[in-house]
Amino acid sequence: MMLYQVSRWFRLGLVVACLGWAGGTALWVHSAPASDGARTVSQLAPPPPAQVPGNASHVSATVLKSGVGSPGALHSSPPPVPAEQTLYALVIEIHTAAPERAGLDSRAQPGMVIEVFSTEVLASDLPGKRIEATVELTGDTQGVHWRITNVRVLP
């Protein structure tokens, strides 16, 4: 009987490990028949959202597009800011990227085209210009966003 219970828990652990944290909104597991022959169904709760690890990249990029709006107007999941907060958005093509400081990962890579958001006012004449800035990937497993700060126009 003990071997049967260990085997059942081992199989359940193996299923959970193989599916990982992105297993979906609900995971249904069918256990082996109980002593009376009936099968039971258990629902495992999804894991809590995992935060994106700390990162910041110093980038040089070309601004392709700019815009202004509110978090509710976005097609993707909005950044965690109040609904009435004005967001300034840029679409940038990254040319160079390096960690902002020692100990932080650089999630930005040269060649990437990303949409970045700021709650600080960004000039409306940036499209077509080269900039230096700090970009950071923020969010969790339910949605991520690029945040931009320290924007400086290059000559």
* Every domain of the chain and the residues it spans: 2-44, 57-153
17 forms beta bridges with none
pLDDT digits (tens, 9 = 90+) for 141-151: 878 889 999 99
- Which residues of the chain are under the pLDDT cut of 70? 1-43, 71-81
Superfamily name and number for 57-153: Nucleic acid-binding proteins (2.40.50.140)
Residue 133 has a pLDDT of: 98
Tokens 């097609």 belong to residue: 75
97 within 8 A of 110, measured Cβ to Cβ: yes
Tokens 């392709």 belong to residue: 64
How far apart CA 80 and CA 138 sit, in angstroms, is 10
Tokens 């109040």 belong to residue: 82
Among residues 108, 82, 76, the alpha carbon closest in space to that of 95 is found at 108
Q: How many residues are present in the chain?
A: 155
Residue type (1 letter), 152: R
Residue 43 has a pLDDT of: 65
How far apart CA 85 and CA 117 sit, in angstroms, is 12
Spatial neighbors of 98 by CB under 8 A, at least 6 apart, are: 57, 58, 59, 106
